[in-house]
Each structure stands twice: as C-alpha cells, then as structure tokens.
C-alpha cells in the first residue's frame, strides 16, 4: 500500500550523493519523494544547509512559532530569521527533480556535487564539501551561523518564561 501524503509522521533516513544541474534542478530518490509528498518546503537551517519538509510538517513548525504571536524583539528576530530563507510549494517533475530557486541555492552555496542526508523529520541538502567539513567537526561546524538564531531563540524563551510577550 502506498504511503498517503497526509500520514504523519514521515521520517527521512539515509545518505545520497547527487548534484545540482545547470538549470538548478535536484534529483530526489522515489522513497524520499513519496515522503515529501506532492508539495514541500525548503528552509535554510541555522547550521548552513537546507532542509526539505513535507508541507504539513512545515506548517506545524510555523504554527508553533506563530501561535506565540508577539511584538517582542525576541519573537520578531526569531521569526524574521526563521522565515527569511524559505521556498514553499516546491514540487518534483516526472523524473523526480525539483528546481530550487537560485537565491536559496546561493544562500548555502549549492552547486555541483551535493549530499542529501536523512535527518528524521527532514531531508537535508548540503554542499558536498561543506558536508565533509561538518562530518569532520560536527559540534563546532557552523557555530557562527547558529549564534544569531540561538540568541533570538534565547530572547524568545526568556520573554515567554517571564510572560512579557510585548502584546
């Protein structure tokens, strides 16, 4: 029986090498295409790679953040950073390829050889060289990129804990 697009949770496993072609297309294997569903979202993670999420999984992540609606600085910074580098309503063609917008490819230097890495709730897309650097130093890799998002997250947590949401 084929997996239904609305079944949840859909998990992503494994590692696959691929490439971005000259038209900005990325090939995804059938199993991961089925798990992503007909429409999916690409979002840049603070570590410096992209994550592909089934649309409904992304909407759940959005809702968790947006239900805390506030005008507080922590919430504003966090949502600005979270939603800045996102492309939604992506879909694969009949050959299993999708086009990633150029501005998003450039934001994480996706060109040539890439890695697709299953990470449970998401399928990560890495520049192959950057993935090798990450593998060599997992805990410190991307610390400079993660710092800004973590600072906004800490501000948001402090505001939520204090009940001062700026509403």
Q: Within a domain: residue 158?
A: yes
CATH code assigned at 25? 3.40.1550.20
CA distance 44 to 150: 14
Tens digits of per-residue pLDDT, 61-105? Answer: 888 878 776 677 777 877 887 888 899 999 999 999 999 999 999
Dihedral angle computed from the Cα positions of residues 29, 17, 47 and 163, in that order, rounded to the nearest 10 degrees: 20
The residue among 95, 93, 97, 94 whose CA lies nearest residue 114 is 97
Q: Within a domain: residue 149?
A: yes
Q: Within a domain: residue 10?
A: no
Q: Within a domain: residue 3?
A: no
Tens digits of per-residue pLDDT, 14-54? Answer: 999 999 999 999 999 999 999 999 999 999 998 889 999 99
The token duo for 70 is 């506030």
Q: Within a domain: residue 4?
A: no
Q: Within a domain: residue 8?
A: no
* pLDDT score for 167: 40
**What's the number of domains the chain is made of?**
1
Is the pTM of the predicted complex or chain greater than 0.75? yes
Positive or negative: CA dihedral 18, 13, 50, 43? positive
148 membership: H or E segment, kind and range: helix 143-162
Domain that holds residue 147: 15-162
């Amino acid at each position: 029986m084929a997996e239904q697009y609305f079944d949840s949770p859909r998990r992503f496993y494994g590692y696959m090498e691929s490439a971005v072609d000259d038209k900005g297309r990325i090939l995804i294997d059938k199993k991961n295409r089925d798990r992503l569903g007909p429409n999916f979202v690409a979002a840049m993670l603070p570590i410096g790679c992209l994550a592909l999420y089934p649309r409904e999984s992304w909407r759940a992540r959005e809702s968790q953040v947006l239900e805390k609606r506030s005008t507080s600085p922590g919430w504003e910074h966090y949502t600005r950073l979270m939603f800045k580098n996102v492309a939604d309503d992506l879909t694969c063609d009949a050959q299993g390829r999708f086009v990633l917008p150029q501005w998003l490819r450039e934001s994480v230097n996706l060109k040539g050889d890439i890695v697709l890495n299953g990470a449970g709730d998401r399928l990560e897309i890495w520049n192959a060289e950057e993935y090798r650097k990450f593998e060599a130093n997992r805990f410190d890799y991307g610390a400079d990129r993660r710092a800004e998002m973590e600072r906004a997250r800490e501000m948001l947590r402090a505001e939520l804990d204090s009940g001062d949401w700026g509403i």
